[in-house]
């Protein structure tokens, strides 16, 4: 009884193994009829240089059948089978041979392949696919490994490998070219291609959208292409150009097996020859040399800027047509207007200075820039105009190849792009844009200067007021100009005597002072300072306090506290209507005898004429 379950188990295992025969090719370099590749299974070339299997590029959710370098840590795809028809689940997708002998990719349980080699074989039962150490996937019939029924080198995507070829089949008139990926996340065909010249000359060209040629290799002269002289100088590979009855093509081979190189038509429109050096890919050949020389790299209404980190940008009044594509450096859709044009007085022009003008201009005969602007404004198809010494140019339709130049670049012009007036920056249109900004800056600077001067003035006044405050046991040395200001140029005279005239003044802290201008003195500055210092040291309740002095040239001035009642003599004689009566005089005389014993007695304020 126990043998029955064991037999069932064995049969189930055999059936499962035969059904999932892809497990048997995990360590193989080929796929034979009856086998299939699915999920994470891969095949590896005999020398373990290349690997074929399902891969997912970048952040994409789609899967593709591709070939990549086996021993390079950065997955580098050199060929894609289903670049236009991805699958979403590799576990339910299968790469296998069809009944007719085609290598095909099937998605889920569908009987219709999403990709096929479109090859034919008279004996499909003996066909197999082999991955070579050159990175070439070939279909062979039985043991005839020298005759290929089909090979991936005849159907390159964006990469030209050593041993591969680019050219034209003279019999079928089919061109074999490199076509860029749409972007790093999408291997679908992009807009840029490298191909043999479609006009039949012996040179290679790079085209945009299959029509616009923006770079040529120059003609083959028997040794190299005239615009690529380094082709013959390379000692790393051997470059050949062959023209026979069947094909006209170029090919190259590596002279050292240790060299890893590939030629790529990049999604940014440049052709690059890459070498694997020091654990990274390094470009040794790039054409065109500058990004902005690529035709329509930034798409319609996009602006190319070599010095910008993102290369492409949208000007004012426009925004990226597809934000996701722009994040992936795919600018082919360019920029879209924020608002539709109204074709009338609601439109205006945005000035763009120092730019390389777009392609496909139309020249007009006019006499002024105003007339040129009017010609464009009155034509609803006109999207931009430029006026210079060469005359008037207008552009209809999409603007392409618009390039921002910088200091030192030659050939810069001013372009006026048509926008809805409300989309033009609020700072103004064209030449008026800078005026409000300049005025704002000027008024701002003036305001700052005024504030600084005001603060400096207040600060100096405060510092001077503090400096004028008497320090204990010292006199203040005033400047003559300060005393002039305090006395209002000596305008309020208090009196005069044998040694000078006294004027009333006011200090910055509003303290009243009496300033005496001495006259008739001839002593020097040193003697004057000595006598003033002695006088300042005298402190008595019956003497007015000396605050400071001034010495300037022949001018000598003394500064006293101001006594509003005047000097003692003005209080003793009848010339003064408020003179002291005799009772007050007798009482004050009596107090003077007791002053030593009554220290808190109110001081008598008198002023005596004092001479230093």
Binding residues: 517
Tell me whether residue 363 is exposed, middle or buried, using C-beta atoms within 10 angstroms of its C-beta: 0 to 12, 13 to 18, 19 or more. exposed
Residues making up the binding site for ATP = 517
Which position has the token pair 């190259």? Answer: 252
Q: Does residue 203 contact residue 181 with C-beta atoms inside 8 Å?
A: no
Which of 452, 451, 425 lies closest to 437 in space, CA to CA? 425
- Our CA dihedral for 303, 304, 308, 314, rounded to 10 degrees, sits at 20
d(CA 117, CA 396): 44
Q: What are phi and psi of 302, to 5 degrees?
A: -85, 150
Q: Which of 238-257 are b and which e, b meaning 16 or more Cβ less than 10 Å from the residue's Cβ?
A: ebebeeeeeebbbbbebeee
Q: DSSP letter string over 490-519? A: TTSEEEEETTEEEEEEE-TTS-EEEEEEE-
Q: Which two tokens stand for residue 606?
A: 């008198």
DSSP-assigned letter for residue 220: B
Tell me how many degrees the CA angle 95-96-102 measures, rounded to the nearest 5: 115
Which of 41, 78, 86, 38 lies closest to 62 in space, CA to CA? 86
Which of 516, 511, 520 lies closest to 532 in space, CA to CA? 516
Strand order across the beta sheet in which 204-208 lies: 178-183, 186-196, 204-208, 212-216
Q: What are phi and psi of 590, to 5 degrees?
A: -65, -40
The upper half-sphere exposure of residue 422, i.e. CA atoms within 13 Å in the direction of its Cβ, equals 6
């Amino acid at each position: 009884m126990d043998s029955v379950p064991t037999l069932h188990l064995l049969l189930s295992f055999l059936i499962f193994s035969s059904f999932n025969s892809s497990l048997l090719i995990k360590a193989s370099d080929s796929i034979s009829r009856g086998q299939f590749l699915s999920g994470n299974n891969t095949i590896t070339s005999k020398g373990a240089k290349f690997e074929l299997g399902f891969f997912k590029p970048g952040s994409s959710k789609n899967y593709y059948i591709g070939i990549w370098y086996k021993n390079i840590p950065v997955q580098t795809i050199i060929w894609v089978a289903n670049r236009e028809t991805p699958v979403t689940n590799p576990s339910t997708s299968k790469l296998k041979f069809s009944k007719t002998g085609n290598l095909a990719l099937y998605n889920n349980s569908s009987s219709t392949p999403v990709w096929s080699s479109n090859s034919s074989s008279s004996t499909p039962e003996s066909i197999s696919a082999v991955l070579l150490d050159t990175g070439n996937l070939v279909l062979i019939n039985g043991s005839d490994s020298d005759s290929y029924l089909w090979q991936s080198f005849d159907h390159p995507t964006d990469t030209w490998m050593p041993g591969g070829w680019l050219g034209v089949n003279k019999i079928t008139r089919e061109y074999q070219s490199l076509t860029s990926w749409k972007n790093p996340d999408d291997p679908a065909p992009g807009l840029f291609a490298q191909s043999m010249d479609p006009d039949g000359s012996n040179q290679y060209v790079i085209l945009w959208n299959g029509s616009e040629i923006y770079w040529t290799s120059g003609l083959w002269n028997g040794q190299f292409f005239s615009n690529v002289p380094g082709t013959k100088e390379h000692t790393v590979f051997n470059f050949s150009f062959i023209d026979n009855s069947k094909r006209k093509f170029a090919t190259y081979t590596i002279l050292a097996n240790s060299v890893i190189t590939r030629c790529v038509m990049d999604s940014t429109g440049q052709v690059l020859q890459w070498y694997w050096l020091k654990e990274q890919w390094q470009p040794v050949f790039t054409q065109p040399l500058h990004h902005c020389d690529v035709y329509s790299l930034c798409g319609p209404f996009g602006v190319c800027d070599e010095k910008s980190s993102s290369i492409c940008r949208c000007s004012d009044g426009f925004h990226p047509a597809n934000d996701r594509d722009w994040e992936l450096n795919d600018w082919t859709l360019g920029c879209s207007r924020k608002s539709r044009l109204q074709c009338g007085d609601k439109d205006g022009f945005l000035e763009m200075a120092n730019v390389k003008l777009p392609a496909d201009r139309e020249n007009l005969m006019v006499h002024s820039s105003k007339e040129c602007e009017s010609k464009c404004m009155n034509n609803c198809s006109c999207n931009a105009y430029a006026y210079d010494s060469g005359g008037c140019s207008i552009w209809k339709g999409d603007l392409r190849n618009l390039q921002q130049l910088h200091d030192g670049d030659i050939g810069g012009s001013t372009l006026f792009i048509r926008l809805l007036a409300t989309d033009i920056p609020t700072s103004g249109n064209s030449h008026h844009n800078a005026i409000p900004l300049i005025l704002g800056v000027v008024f701002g600077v003036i305001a700052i200067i005024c504030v600084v001067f005001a603060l400096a003035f207040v600060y100096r006044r405060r510092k001077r007021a503090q400096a004028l405050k008497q320090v204990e046991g010292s006199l203040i040395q005033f400047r003559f100009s300060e005393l002039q200001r305090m006395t209002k140029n000596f305008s309020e005279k208090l009196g005069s005597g044998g040694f000078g005239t006294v004027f009333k003044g006011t200090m910055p802290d509003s303290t009243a002072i009496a300033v005496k201008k001495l006259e008739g003195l001839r002593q020097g500055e040193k003697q004057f300072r000595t006598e003033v210092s002695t006088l300042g040291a005298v402190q008595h309740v019956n003497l007015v306090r000396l605050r400071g002095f001034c010495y300037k040239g022949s001018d000598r001035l003394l500064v006293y506290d101001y006594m509003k009642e005047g000097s003692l003599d003005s209080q003793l004689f009848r010339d003064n209507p408020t003179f002291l009566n005799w009772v007050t005089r007798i009482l004050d005389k009596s107090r003077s005898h007791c002053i030593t014993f009554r220290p808190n007695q109110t001081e008598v304020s008198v002023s005596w004429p004092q001479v230093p």
